[in-house]
């Protein structure tokens, strides 16, 4: 059986970006104690990176449309190593937040351009399945980063946890540089200005704009849930350590298991019914986390993770296939709104946490999911692309 190096490289790229992006979540209670900061202030270590991603993503698309896909992806993966090392040596919470922001600047060239690569290098029917593989690997990376950080921090300290992530990032960068073929179907934009004009044309496509709004909601809900549940589970009666908080993110593997089936699910149920039903199940999973039982909370988080990854895979694939030109800029705009949503998800539920605790966070996320469902039903009218 012939091994598809492209699919492996795409998976490794997704894993690499997300192994770093959310790693501090399992350490948030520990960081709050060490630096003497509140839950909302400590969550800025997440907000800083997601905000940086949102700011740089559109420009990433324009650069990749001119310079090419592999060149941008590999360069960014090696650049990511530097701020990851600097995070490990941060002496204050402010320094830590700064270097997390710099980390965020290096991430869109990895995952946004990888999605554009998929949209161009595979036929549409296969692109859905490959996007599912990418999203699955990203979910595995998200779990691995949190779990590795939590275990190393408990065995040693959080400084060594981030150094371990830097070493892992170097290995992954070498892997992608070796395995990812140079793009074959890439059509170079004539200039950065031309790519910018393409980006503006994307904003005239109401289905793309609606999908950007859905992307905003997906990460808002994810970050709002998986940031503040750490404080909920670190407090009485659960009192979980950093290792166990990292282990809780094994629920991300639910998403990793589901997303490779995205193409078949879209072909069978249709895009709108699939995402609408998924959002309904997502809400049920969140309500389960209100139970005063750790197994019930883990079950609810597993449902939440699976539903979130499925929505993300469908949305990302829709963007890559719908854009008729400037695929990187189209995906870049999606990534911008996705991570603007993540930044809001790290901040706004904090207000609900301060006022009402975990139930307030859940209520905020449920309201966002309802709005997402309404947007999907109103605007996602494009015929389903059949998958293999």
CB atoms within 10 A of CB 185: 11
Distance (Å, whole) CA 258 – CA 135: 10
Q: What are phi and psi of 91, to 5 degrees?
A: -85, -15
Cα 273 to Cα 26, 131, 265, 280, 376, distances in angstroms: 34, 20, 10, 11, 9
- The rounded distance, in Å, linking the Cα atoms of 337 and 54 is 7
Domains of the chain: total: 1
Cβ-in-10-Å burial (0-12, 13-18, 19+) of 339 comes to buried
Q: List Cα–Cα distances, 203 to 60, 196, 200, 316, in angstroms.
A: 17, 11, 5, 16
Is 331 a member of any domain?
yes
Note the maximum CA span of the chain: 60
Lowest mean pLDDT among 75-79, 142-146, 198-202, 292-296: 198-202
Report the chain's mean pLDDT, rounded to a whole number. Answer: 84
> Do residues 154 and 163 touch, judged by C-beta distance below 8 A?
no
Residue 357: count of CB within 10 angstroms of its CB: 14
- Please give the average per-residue pLDDT across 169-185, as a whole number: 88
In a domain, 384, yes or no: no
Has residue 315 been placed in a domain?
yes
Within a domain: 80: yes
Give the pLDDT confidence score for residue 294 in this predicted structure: 94
CA distance 326 to 120: 10
Supply the CATH number for residue 324's domain.
Answer: 1.20.1250.20
Cα separation of 286 and 154, whole Å? 28
- How would you class 323 by CB atoms within 10 Å of its CB: exposed for 0-12, middle for 13-18, buried for 19 or more? buried
Whether 326 is in a domain gets the answer: yes
Whether 108 shows a pLDDT value over 50: the answer reads yes
DSSP 8-state secondary structure symbol assigned to residue 168:
H
- Confirm whether 122 is domain-assigned: yes
Instruction: Give this prediction's pTM.
Output: 0.74
Structural domain harbouring 244: 5-379
Q: Is residue 385 part of a domain?
A: no
Share of the chain above pLDDT 70, in %: 88
The pLDDT tens digits for 334-348 are 878 888 898 888 888
Instruction: Please check the confidence at residue 329 and state whether its pLDDT lies above 80.
Output: no
CA gap 24, 27 in Å, rounded:
5
Is residue 387 one of the residues assigned to a domain? no
């Amino acid at each position: 059986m012939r091994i598809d190096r492209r699919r492996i490289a795409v998976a490794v790229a997704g894993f690499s970006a997300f192994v770093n992006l959310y790693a501090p979540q399992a350490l948030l209670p520990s960081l709050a104690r060490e630096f003497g900061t509140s839950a909302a202030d400590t969550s800025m270590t997440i907000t800083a990176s997601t905000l940086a991603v949102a700011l740089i993503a559109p420009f990433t698309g324009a650069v990749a449309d001119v310079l090419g896909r592999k060149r941008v992806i590999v360069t960014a993966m090696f650049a990511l190593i530097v701020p990851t090392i600097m995070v490990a040596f941060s002496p204050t919470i402010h320094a830590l937040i700064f270097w997390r922001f710099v980390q965020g600047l290096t991430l869109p060239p990895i995952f946004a351009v990888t999605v554009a690569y998929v949209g161009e290098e595979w036929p549409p029917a296969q692109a859905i399945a490959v996007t599912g593989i990418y999203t699955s690997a990203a979910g595995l990376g998200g779990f691995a980063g949190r779990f590795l950080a939590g275990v190393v921090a408990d065995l040693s300290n959080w400084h060594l946890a981030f150094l371990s992530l830097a070493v892992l990032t170097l290995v992954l960068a070498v892997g992608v540089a070796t395995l990812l073929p140079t793009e074959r179907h890439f059509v170079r934009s004539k200039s950065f200005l031309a790519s910018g004009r393409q980006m503006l044309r994307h904003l005239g496509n109401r289905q793309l704009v609606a999908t950007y709004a859905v992307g905003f909601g997906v990460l808002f809900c994810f970050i709002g849930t998986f940031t503040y549940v750490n404080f909920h589970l670190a407090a009485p009666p659960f009192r979980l350590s950093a290792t166990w908080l990292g282990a809780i993110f094994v629920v991300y593997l639910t998403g990793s298991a589901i997303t490779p089936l995205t193409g078949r699910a879209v072909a069978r149920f249709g895009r709108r019914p699939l995402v609408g039903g998924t959002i309904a199940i997502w809400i049920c999973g969140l309500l389960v986390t209100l139970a005063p039982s750790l197994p019930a909370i883990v079950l609810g988080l597993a449902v939440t993770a699976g539903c979130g990854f499925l929505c993300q895979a469908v949305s990302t694939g829709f963007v890559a296939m719908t854009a008729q030109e400037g695929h990187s800029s189209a995906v870049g705009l999606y990534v911008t709104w996705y991570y603007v949503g993540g930044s809001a998800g790290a901040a706004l539920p904090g207000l609900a946490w301060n006022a009402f605790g975990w139930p307030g966070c859940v209520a905020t996320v449920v309201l966002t999911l309802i709005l997402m469902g309404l947007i999907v039903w109103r605007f996602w009218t494009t015929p389903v692309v059949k998958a293999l």
